[in-house]
Amino acid sequence: MDKIVVTGGVALEGEVRISGAKNAVLPILCATLLADGPVEIGNVPDLHDVRTTARLLRGLGAEVEHAADAAVVRVDPRPASGHVAPYELVRTMRASVLVLGPLLARHGAAEVSLPGGCAIGSRPVDLHIRALEALGAEITVEHGYIKARAGRLRGGEVKFDMVSVGATENVLMAATLAEGTTTIDNAAREPEIVDLAACLVAMGARIEGAGTSRIVVHGVDALHAARHQVIADRIETGTFLVAGAITRGRVVATHARPDTLDAVLAKLREAGADIEVDGDRIALDMRGRRPRAVDIVTEPHPGFPTDMQAQLMALDCIAEGTGTIDERIFENRFMHVNELMRLGAHIDIDGHRATVTGVERLTGAPVMATDLRASASLILAGLVAEGETTIDRIYHLDRGYEHIERKLSGLGARIRRIAA
């Protein structure tokens, strides 16, 4: 199992190109199953989860060409006749459940194994099930599989009890081929939902209100071939900006989408960073200053994203003052705390709240990644720790960050990967 070794003490400086968003490309790849012609997707990051999704689509019978060096995936779903997403693929990636809606809408049947992925909370699939039942699907859960059947889906009214990105995406995709109009209330508003809707519209879907809490979908008889460029990854962008802030350096993120990062940029400014936005470029400069501790509360978009919580905690660990972090999205997302404390961080946990008292210095130690974003927070802490920090279980990292050690090295970080 590969490890990453970071030697701290270098203020990062330079430009880093932001990749396409993992959380946008995975549902978009699933959405290609809805089309009756080839769909070409650009700005696709070279990630483990993308390769897993490509394998899943091939397993369903689709033809998939993945040119990783060109960041392009081309999917021809016309040969796809399968409707079973097996445990072997789904167990490593929760996003696999997003084939449920497209398979049901296109083929009238779907069997999808209950999903796996990072162990950071229950993230119940019952929201997906109830939403699709509102469109006329008959669904049972047995032997570890979600089994769904339907004739042609019918438009319906979906109102979520709680905001769910995945469930919004699943019912949005299914509704595009349903007969009649579907309204989705209390819909997730994340930029990745907007990007998925833009891809579906390019394929011929009729969608209004993506990015708001009420989405209206007018079903059509068929979706056609299309091309789409995936939105920039706002979480990767935020992670590299925090890397600049935590090392008191200057980092410029290029090919970014600043309009998707308002809450994160506000907190970085509060921490003392000078931030300038110019088109798709975000420049962060700490001017050698130690960051100030910030308080954050994770919320659905447009609030502060839970996927940036661990990175801001790392920043608070070496900041001036004390910061509180309230995690309101997932109930089990403080697993990185014990690892940060191994590096010398002062963190107290009380339920969903962590109180972080900044220290002057961290010291390198062996640590273990517990989930995707936690692994990034450990690298960030390692960038400022004295000596070497060795991070184990970095397969989590490869699920969501494209060539992170190469990109950080380009900013001056002393970081290397050790093959198992």
H-helix segments, 61-123: 87-90, 100-107
**Distance (Å, whole) CA 275 – CA 269:** 7
DSSP code of residue 382: H
Long-range contacts of residues 309-312, Cβ cutoff 8 Å, at least 24 apart: 309/333, 309/373, 310/336, 310/373, 310/374, 310/376, 310/377, 311/238, 311/239, 311/242, 311/373, 311/376, 311/377, 311/380, 312/242, 312/267
Sign for the pseudo-dihedral over CA of 160, 161, 165, 167: negative
Q: Which residues contact 266 (CB under 8 A, 6 or more apart)?
A: none
End-to-end CA, the chain: 5
* Maximal CA-CA distance, the chain: 63
What does the DSSP assignment read for 21-61?
A: PHHHHHHHHHHGGGBSS-EEEES----HHHHHHHHHHHHTT
The yes-or-no answer on residue 317 being catalytic is: no
Partners of 6 in beta bridges = 389, 415
**Distance (Å, whole) CA 243 – CA 235:** 12
* Joined tokens for residue 372: 């995707």
**Distance (Å, whole) CA 304 – CA 108:** 38
**Distance (Å, whole) CA 295 – CA 179:** 47
**Distance (Å, whole) CA 385 – CA 123:** 34
Which uninterrupted H or E stretch holds 167? helix 165-175
Q: Which residues are catalytic?
A: 118
